[in-house]
């Protein structure tokens, strides 16, 4: 029998909440973390709203030493370390061990690392001030910077690495970590992802005209997944982390179990057919979903809810269509579906993990969080799914099986299936 994998700890650094307590309250109430961004306005971006975690100096000092914070300019690493260390603590695991923990590792993804520090480094080098870069410039700008910090702070002795697959990064990290435990190569893995914030990350998307520019005066209305008036995504940033653990290990130490990871699937559409660098291949998306269910040992009819990718672009209707075809379910028979991006924007490489934390909280506490800004449901979506399955108010209901999916640039797909933990 393959090993069962459960989630015993979680952490989050999101635009609408830092820490599980604050984040849980925010997603249940539909609290938005989207605000007007003066920096984007000053730089004459079309989209002048954004969503990023508000991390105080006091909070930073809870996770980093004063020496580490000196000349520190790597938001993505900051968010990832906060979320990762929260998850470790939430799981009741020890800090400050004298020895490396060879049973524990991390796969923590990122799209970029320390873009602010990288920009600073370029200017100093061009100004012939290379010796002023400081001793932490390398670790802040290398792709695996977030796992380098987490590996040292937590004493991780198993696989310590960073993955990167655009918007699918977080979901991919969870499934790669799951595989590591199922194969018996690790007892526990810290799975997550993070994203840098700011104009040097978001500028390319603004230039592509995929970000909304119609809500600069009313930021909280800007992110509108599945809405008829959706006009592009709101750029965001943040990090989520989930501590995945062998069930036997979790039970032996009396750990709290949030949910079970049943399995999932990762694939690519190869940018063939209707797929491209920026558009998903529907055949691959549908196959990713159906294979995720098969790999998890459940049937389409069993699925209670979906936390979709759903970015508030013209592809939302296509995503819903892919779900209906893959599941063979539509109308009132369709599962509940929601998008966290309505309140946190699109956290890019951090999206899959932040949204997975939200999905698991729904499983643990029995609710479906509301879709903000979706009262005017897109007519193409309304023709496929019953209105009540896309709730705009909190729904209190027990959920057994929830799917979390991500579909990223490069035509890469990921779908993971979470289950309420059952002892048998």
HEC string for the chain: CCCCEEEEEEEEEECCEECHHHHHHHHHHCCCCEEECHHHHHCCCCCCEEECCCCCHHHHHHHCCHHHHCCCCCHHHHHHHHHHHHHHHHCCCCCCCCCCECCEEEEEEECCCCHHHHHHHHHHHHCCCHHHCCCCHHHHHCCCHHHHHHHHHHCECCCEECCCECECHHHHHHHHHHHHHHCCCCCEEEEEEECCCCHHHHHHHHHHCCECCCCCCCHHHCCCCCECCCCCECEECCEEEEEEEEHHHHHHCCCCCCEEEEEEEEEECCCCCCCCCCCCCHHHHHHHHHHHHHHHCCCHHHCCEEECCCCCCCCHHHHHHHHHHHHCCCECCCCEEECCHHHHCECHHHHHHHHHHHHHHHHHHCEECCCCCCCCECHHHHCCECHHHCCCCCEECCCCEEEEEEEECCCEEEEEEEECCCCC
- Does residue 37 belong to any structural domain of this protein? yes
- Does residue 257 belong to any structural domain of this protein? no
pTM of the model: 0.97
Q: Give the residue from 413, 293, 394, 266 showing the smallest Cα distance to 336.
A: 394
The reply to whether 225 and 271 lie within a common domain is no
The reply to whether 222 and 272 lie within a common domain is no
The reply to whether 237 and 273 lie within a common domain is no
Q: What's the total number of domains in the chain?
A: 2
The half-sphere exposure of 145 on its side-chain side, counting CA atoms within 13 A, is: 29
- Does residue 65 belong to any structural domain of this protein? yes
The reply to whether 246 and 268 lie within a common domain is no
User: Measured between alpha carbons, how far is 413 from 352 in angstroms, rounded to an integer?
Assistant: 11
User: Measured between alpha carbons, how far is 315 from 281 in angstroms, rounded to an integer?
Assistant: 11
User: Measured between alpha carbons, how far is 311 from 230 in angstroms, rounded to an integer?
Assistant: 9
The reply to whether 193 and 63 lie within a common domain is yes
Domain boundary pick from 222, 252, 282: 252
Exposure b/e, 275-314, CB count within 10 A at least 16 = b: beeebbbbbbbbbbbbbbbebbebebeebbbbbbbbbbbe
The reply to whether 234 and 283 lie within a common domain is no
User: Measured between alpha carbons, how far is 315 from 324 in angstroms, rounded to an integer?
Assistant: 14
What residues form DSSP beta bridges with 30?
none
User: Measured between alpha carbons, how far is 23 from 273 in angstroms, rounded to an integer?
Assistant: 39
- Does residue 424 belong to any structural domain of this protein? no
Looking at residue 96, what is its pLDDT? Answer: 77
Looking at residue 155, what is its pLDDT? Answer: 96
Four-CA torsion 57, 60, 66, 69, nearest 10 degrees = -90
User: Measured between alpha carbons, how far is 340 from 361 in angstroms, rounded to an integer?
Assistant: 12
Pairing mode, strands 305-307 and 401-408: parallel
The reply to whether 271 and 196 lie within a common domain is no
- Does residue 111 belong to any structural domain of this protein? yes
The half-sphere exposure of 383 on its side-chain side, counting CA atoms within 13 A, is: 7
The reply to whether 150 and 10 lie within a common domain is yes
Domain boundary pick from 187, 217, 252: 252
Residues in contact with 98: Cβ distance below 8 Å, sequence separation at least 6, in sequence order: none
pLDDT averaged over 10-residue windows placed end to end, the chain, 424 residues: 93 98 98 98 98 97 93 95 98 90 98 87 76 79 95 97 98 98 97 97 96 98 98 98 98 97 98 94 98 98 98 96 98 98 98 98 98 98 98 98 97 98 79
- Does residue 258 belong to any structural domain of this protein? no
Whether the Cβ atoms of residue 415 and residue 171 lie closer than 8 Å to each other: yes
- Does residue 162 belong to any structural domain of this protein? yes
User: Measured between alpha carbons, how far is 402 from 357 in angstroms, rounded to an integer?
Assistant: 12
Domain CATH number, residue 51: 3.40.47.10
Q: Give the residue from 361, 391, 342, 415 showing the smallest Cα distance to 51.
A: 342
The reply to whether 273 and 147 lie within a common domain is no
Looking at residue 424, what is its pLDDT? Answer: 56
The reply to whether 87 and 134 lie within a common domain is yes
Domain boundary pick from 197, 232, 252: 252
Residues in contact with 157: Cβ distance below 8 Å, sequence separation at least 6, in sequence order: 99, 100, 101, 102, 103, 104, 105
Q: Give the residue from 200, 209, 180, 146 showing the smallest Cα distance to 11.
A: 146
The reply to whether 287 and 189 lie within a common domain is no
Q: Which domain holds residue 204?
A: 5-252
Looking at residue 122, what is its pLDDT? Answer: 79
The reply to whether 70 and 167 lie within a common domain is yes
């Amino acid at each position: 029998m393959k090993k069962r994998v459960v989630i015993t700890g979680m952490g989050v650094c999101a635009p609408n909440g830092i820490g599980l307590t604050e984040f849980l309250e925010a997603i249940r109430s539909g609290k938005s973390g989207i605000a007007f961004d003066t920096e984007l306005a000053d730089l004459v971006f079309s989209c002048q709203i954004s969503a990023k975690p508000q991390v105080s100096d006091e909070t930073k000092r809870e996770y980093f030493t004063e020496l580490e914070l000196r000349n520190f300019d790597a938001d993505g690493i900051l968010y990832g370390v906060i979320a990762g260390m929260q998850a470790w603590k939430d799981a009741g695991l020890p800090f400050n061990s004298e020895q490396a923990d060879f049973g524990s590792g991390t796969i923590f993804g990122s799209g970029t690392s320390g873009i602010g520090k990288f920009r600073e480094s370029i200017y100093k080098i061009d100004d012939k001030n290379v010796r002023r870069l400081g001793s932490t410039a390398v670790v802040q700008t290398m792709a695996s910077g977030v796992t380098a910090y987490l590996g040292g702070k937590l004493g991780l002795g198993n696989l310590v690495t960073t993955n990167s697959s655009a918007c699918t990064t977080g979901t991919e990290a969870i499934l790669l970590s799951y595989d590591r435990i199922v194969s018996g190569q690790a007892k526990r893995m810290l799975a997550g992802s993070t994203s840098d914030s700011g104009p040097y990350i978001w500028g390319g998307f603004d230039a592509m005209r995929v970000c909304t520019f119609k809500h600069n005066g009313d930021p909280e209305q800007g992110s509108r997944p599945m809405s008829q008036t959706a006009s592009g995504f709101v750029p965001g940033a943040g990090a989520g982390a989930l501590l995945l653990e062998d069930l036997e290990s979790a039970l032996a130490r009396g750990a709290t179990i949030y949910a079970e990871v049943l399995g999932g699937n990762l694939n690519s559409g190869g940018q063939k057919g209707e797929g491209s660098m920026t558009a998903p291949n529907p055949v691959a998306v549908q196959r990713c979903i159906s294979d995720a269910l098969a790999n998890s040992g459940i049937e389409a009819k069993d699925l209670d809810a979906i936390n979709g990718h759903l970015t508030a672009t013209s592809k939302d209707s296509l995503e819903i269509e892919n779900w209906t075809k893959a599941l063979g379910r539509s109308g009132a028979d369709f599962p509940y579906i929601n998008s966290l991006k309505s309140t946190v924007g699109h956290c890019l490489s951090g999206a899959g993990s932040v949204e997975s934390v939200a999905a698991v909280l729904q499983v643990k506490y029995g609710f479906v969080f509301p879709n903000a800004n979706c009262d005017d449901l897109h007519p193409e979506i309304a023709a496929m799914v019953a209105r009540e399955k896309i709730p705009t108010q909190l729904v209190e209901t027990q959920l057994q099986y929830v799917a979390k999916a991500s579909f990223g640039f490069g035509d890469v797909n990921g779908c993971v299936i979470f289950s309420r933990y059952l002892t048998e």
